């Protein structure tokens, strides 16, 4: 590597030697698009992450942090330094009352964290089973499923300041959470990278079964383990495994409309699938796309998953061009049919750098 630190520090030299040039990102995004990182390194500890950020700052490079790659749409080569988050570690602190504090490093698999909590008989995240990606990505996207969002159990988030290397905690209530959104995805995306999270779980709690027909799927004897098993089974039946078929899970957010627009749509489309949400209604994007005739359709080497129209899949493409074309066609047809604009859920790189999933 031609770019070098002017330092005799052994650790810094070791970090510098671990930085690779022109590395393919095909295995680091679940769409498997074959774009390259200008520079690439793996962070396995806070110290190594600090050193990598210092290196990037020294050479005035942009920094992109990625984790499992399951919420990324890479559409071009990524300039600057791409850091793969592999920070690991889980610890728990049981309080005298009903609460358990679970601290999880950002590089841990989210699903494995959910599985671990269920095995310990701790309540709060069982509805979020089998969501792909790393724990550090969960707050960025405010992941959610079956009526539960990560913000509901997130006590605080540990972050590293990209510019200074300082590490500190931010209370969950201060992270600007909303539907599939947070400050980490917006105003903080160029400043903070998540290094750890602390979850507030419960030793005993009511199971939330009212969303998405979960209670009917579980049967007459609901339990913490039964909820976990059912969510895993239902998600496996509806969503393709990215290891088998390249995809990033739900590609579009469920659009939110006003009560007036919902009433108008309901009159025109009596079978419209929708749910009350805040001051308006949340529409089922998968239903809109399905009704527009896209479910199971293929376009060049990509397509819409046959079992769930919310999921776009990559059959054979090595770049994102066809997928971006398909996305535009779907959005245009839904807008023309329902006057509803769909919004993409995966984060596009290198246009923005907010995701760690």
The answer to whether 141 and 105 are in contact (CB under 8 A) is no
What DSSP string describes 70-96? TTEEE-S-EEEEEEEE----EEEEE-S
Does the active-site annotation cover 332? no
Count of CB atoms situated within 10 Å of the CB of 144: 18
Name the burial class of residue 119, with classes exposed (0-12), middle (13-18) and buried (19+) by CB atoms within 10 angstroms of its CB: exposed
Residue 168: beta bridge partners?
A: 159
Between CA 229 and CA 189 the distance in angstroms is 34
CB 228 within 8 A of CB 126: yes
Q: For residue 153, what are the CA distances in angstroms to 99, 143, 211, 265, 277? A: 11, 11, 18, 34, 20
Cβ(277)–Cβ(256) under 8 Å? yes
Which of 48, 75, 182, 250 is flagged as catalytic?
A: 250
Q: Which residue out of 70, 345, 353, 355 is catalytically annotated?
A: 345
Q: Given 32, 156, 162, 180, which residue is catalytic? A: 180
Which residues are paired to 178 by β-bridges? 181
Asked if residues 163 and 189 have their Cβ atoms less than 8 Å apart, the reply is no
Rounded distance, CA 183 to CA 301, Å? 35
Is residue 325 part of the annotated active site? The answer reads no
Query: Annotated catalytic, 180?
Result: yes
Nearest to 92 by CA among 82, 101, 83, 84: 101
**Residues acting as catalytic residues:** 180, 250, 345
């Amino acid at each position: 590597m031609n770019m070098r630190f002017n330092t005799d520090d052994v650790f810094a030299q070791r970090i510098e030697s671990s930085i690779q040039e022109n590395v393919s990102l095909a295995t680091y995004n679940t769409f498997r698009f074959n774009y390259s990182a200008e520079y690439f390194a793996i962070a396995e500890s806070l110290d190594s992450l600090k050193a990598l950020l210092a290196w990037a700052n020294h050479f005035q490079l942009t920094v992109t942090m990625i984790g499992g790659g399951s919420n990324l749409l890479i559409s071009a080569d990524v300039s600057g330094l791409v850091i793969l988050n592999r920070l690991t570690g889980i610890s728990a602190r049981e309080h005298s009352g009903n609460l358990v504090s679970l601290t999880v490093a950002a590089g841990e698999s989210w699903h494995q964290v959910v599985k671990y909590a269920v095995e310990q008989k701790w309540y709060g995240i069982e509805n979020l089973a089998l969501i792909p990606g790393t724990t550090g990505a969960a707050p960025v996207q405010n992941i959610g499923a079956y009526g539960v969002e990560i913000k509901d159990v997130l006590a605080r988030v540990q972050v590293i300041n990209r510019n200074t290397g300082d590490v500190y905690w931010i209370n969950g209530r201060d992270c600007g959470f909303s539907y599939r959104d947070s400050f980490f995805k917006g105003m903080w995306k160029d400043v903070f990278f998540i290094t750890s999270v602390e979850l507030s779980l419960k030793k005993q709690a009511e199971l939330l079964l009212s969303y998405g027909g979960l209670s009917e799927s579980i049967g007459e004897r609901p339990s913490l383990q039964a909820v976990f098993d059912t969510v895993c089974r239902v998600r496996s039946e509806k969503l393709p495994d990215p290891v088998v078929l390249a995809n990033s899970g739900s590609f579009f957010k469920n659009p939110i409309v006003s009560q007036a627009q919902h009433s108008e749509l309901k009159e025109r489309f009596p079978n419209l699938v929708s749910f009350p949400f805040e001051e308006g209604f949340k529409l089922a994007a998968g239903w809109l796309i399905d009704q527009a005739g896209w479910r199971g359709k293929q376009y060049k080497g990509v397509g819409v998953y046959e079992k769930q129209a919310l999921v776009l899949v990559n059959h054979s493409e090595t770049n994102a061009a066809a997928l971006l074309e398909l996305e535009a066609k779907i959005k245009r047809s839904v807008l023309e049919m329902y006057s509803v604009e769909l919004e993409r859920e995966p984060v596009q790189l290198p246009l923005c750098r907010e995701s760690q999933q």
